[in-house]
Amino acid sequence: MDFLFKSIDFEKSYLDFLKVKNHTILSNLANAETPFYKRLKAELIKNEDEIPLKTTNPKHISNIPQNSFAYKIVQDKSGLVGADGNNVSVEKEMVELEKVALKYEAILKFMQGNFQSLDLVIKGLGG
């Protein structure tokens, strides 16, 4: 049963990351014609050394909950830069927006299955 709750926390954390990613994409789209605007992107932090306030002892207090995703928002200086100095591609942002939407929907469906399983256990119909 503990696994189910940890799984829900893990999924919620990923949904939070996707929400931030979605917000950065929408910000890029809103600034697609702003001169010298550089697109933003939300990235998962893969290297533990980059996680802010990393603890070195399990007894230390951490600001990062266990089973959470650490991420950062960075300015993307790559890509094709237009004459106005802007590097936002509306087409690329729309593709990224759709990818985020599909991932978000998949996680929600998975969580729905977890809640249905929990409901069966509570009602005593799980076996």
The pLDDT score that the predictor gives to residue 86 is: 95
For 63, the token pair is 């600001």
Q: Do residues 30 and 64 make contact, with C-beta atoms less than 8 angstroms apart?
A: no
As a whole number, the mean pLDDT across the chain is 82
* Residue 33 predicted with pLDDT over 70: yes
| Amino acid type, 91 | E
Q: Report pLDDT for 8.
A: 74
Quick: pLDDT tens for 84-95.
Answer: 999 999 999 999
* pLDDT, tens only, 49-88: 555 555 566 665 554 445 567 899 999 988 788 889 999 9
Residue 98: which of 5, 25, 10 has the closest Cα? 25
pTM beyond 0.85: no
